[in-house]
Amino acid sequence: MKEVVIIGGGPAGIGAAETLLSLGKNVAIVDTAPFVGGVPLELSCKGDIECTMCHVCMPRDASSRICTSEKLEVLSNSSLKSATLGPETAELEIVTSPRYVNPDKCIACGKCMAVCPVQGALIAPPHGAIPNAPSVDSELCKHFKSRDCDLCIQICPTKAFNFKEKQKAAKIQCKAIILSTGLEPIDPSGVLHYNYGLLPNVLTSLDAERIIVKHGELRRPSDNQKPKKIAIVQCVGSRTTKGGVEYCSKFCCKYGLRIARSFVERAPDAEVDFLYMDLRTFEPRVEALEWAAGKKNVKISQGVPSIVQPTEKDNLLVRRTNPGDVSIEENEYDMVVLSIGGQPRPETKVLAAKLSLEVDSFGFVSNDNRKIGVFVAGSCKSPMDIEESFADGKATGFAVIERLEVNK
């Protein structure tokens, strides 16, 4: 019997888990991904010398603090199938897809990653992920497709691979449930005038972060060269009635500015044009733009582009209205980064229904049911950035403690 089951292991889930574990409660984290950590696992630190407070390291540091706790059970590759809610306890049915690697035996030596012939078949644990063991993607893995590859089994020094692993279903009793499924990135393919997906050097902010994690700096997907002049476009897919969501995703201004800052600090000769609708930074404007003061290669201006078109050498021509004098201006860039926001996952609606919660027209969970032990934390309630989700997780963890102690 667990005391608390946390569904969704992103920043909010980890914040709640940290609070609960520090006060001695038994916690289980359930996540559909092979690793617990949520979207921040794929993001990069945006500081070069000075910390820019992007908070990407926050959930990972927290998860490395809690991963050794004996009161924590991590159920990755798992999802909630059904829930029977009662006034004191609830019974949850959790279905776990096979990982094919035993995390208790795996020592994360990386030898299997080096010999696997198919790219993407073995998903490597990102730094600080729990559990710290790779996961096999059975759709890509050669062993499943043609049954003639067992290189990883041969090379693993602790014999952690088990391709016979089956899907498991477990019934867990618990006293409280926290739903913290968070947000998924908005796909800007629906914003047709930006041609995302058709032009190779138009990326989303998430694509850009993945490249930075891999190479340490931004590179153009078309020719792997360092870009010399980039445009960062805000509000893509948010604040719109076509091809996105109507609300403002809140965190993209903060992250877009930090991506711009990190780019300029790592490539001081390059130029960046930051184009926004409203600068919705969390800190006062003066502080948010301090780093750009006096830099001639940084231009931060109001007015998002109307169209992004291809030019030669896979460069991009961006047309927009000049702020202040309403003239049309066209500029050529070698890369365009679209700052995308987040929307609630489709699974959130399904899970909310199982936990007798309601969602609004956007998919955000609009209530909680603390009387029967169902709590909601993090950005699945309303758009939040990493720090806020983490704080909300901590606050919700504490609210759960109060329920657990009242019911004793």
Partner 1 sequence: MSKKTLVILSDCSSCIGLGESELDNILSLLKQDKNIGAILRMKPVCDRKARKEYKTLDVHGCDRAIIVYWCSMEQIGASITLPKKIHPSLVETLNMSLCSPKGKNERANPERLTRIIKEIAARLSLAEPVKDRQIKFSSSEISVIGSSDQAIKAAKALALHGIKTKLIVPQSLPNVKLENIEIIDGAEINGLSGIPGNFKISYFKKGERKETDAAGILLMSERCLVDVRPPANPRIKFVPLEQFEDHVKSGSRAKGIVFFDDLGSLTSTTDQSIPAWHILLESAKTAVTNKIADSVCVVARDVKASGLLELAWKEAAEAGVKFIRYEDKARPKIEKSGPFVSVKDLVLGESLLIPADIIVAPITSRPWEPSFIEKLFIPSDWNFRVRSRGPQRGLGQSTCDGIFLFGYSAFGKLTDQAYPDLGSVVSQISSFMRQGYHVAKGAVAEINEEKCSACYTCVRTCPYRAATMNASWKAEIVSEKCAGCGSCVAVCPSKAIELKNCTREQIKSQIETSLEVAI
Partner 2 sequence: MTSKLNIVAFVCENHVLSALKAASTAGDHLPESVSIVKLPCTGRLETTQILDTLREGADGVAIIGCLEENCYHDIGSMLARGRVDRMKELLKDIGIEPDRVEMFNIASVSGSLLMLRISQFETKLASLPSTPFKGVMK
Contact partner, 283, from partner 1, partner 2, none, Cβ < 5-8 Å per class: partner 1
How far apart CA 62 and CA 387 sit, in angstroms, is: 12
Q: Out of 132, 162, 222, 309, which residue is the one contacting partner 2 (CB under 8 A)? A: 132
Number of Cβ atoms within 10 Å of the Cβ of 104: 8
Interface stretch with partner 2, choices 126-134, 289-297, 326-334, 376-384 (CB under 8 A):
126-134
How far apart CA 305 and CA 322 sit, in angstroms, is: 10
Least spacing, CB of residue 22 vs partner 1, in Å: 5
Diameter of the chain measured on Cα atoms = 70
Residue in this structure with the two tokens 């706790």, named with its chain if needed: 69
User: Which residues touch 176 (CB under 8 Å, ≥6 apart)?
Assistant: 3, 4, 5, 90, 373, 374, 375, 400, 403, 404
Which CB, 59 or 363, lies closer to partner 2?
59
Least spacing, CB of residue 285 vs partner 1, in Å: 6
Distance separating the N- and C-terminal Cα atoms of the chain: 15
Q: Out of 81, 82, 84, 110, which residue is the one contacting partner 2 (CB under 8 A)? A: 110
User: Which residues touch 33 (CB under 8 Å, ≥6 apart)?
Assistant: 9, 76, 77
State the Rg of the chain over Cα: 23
Q: Does 223 participate in binding partner 1 (rule CB under 8 A)?
A: no
Contact partner, 216, from partner 2, partner 1, none, Cβ < 5-8 Å per class: partner 2
Residues that bind partner 2 (CB under 8 A): 44-45, 47-51, 53, 56-57, 60-61, 64, 108-110, 113-114, 124-125, 127-128, 132, 213-214, 216
Residues that bind partner 1 (CB under 8 A): 15, 19, 22-23, 51, 53, 55, 57-58, 61, 67-68, 105, 107-111, 114, 132, 157-158, 239, 246-250, 253, 278-280, 282-286, 302-303, 323-326, 364, 382-384, 387-388, 390-392, 394-399, 401-402
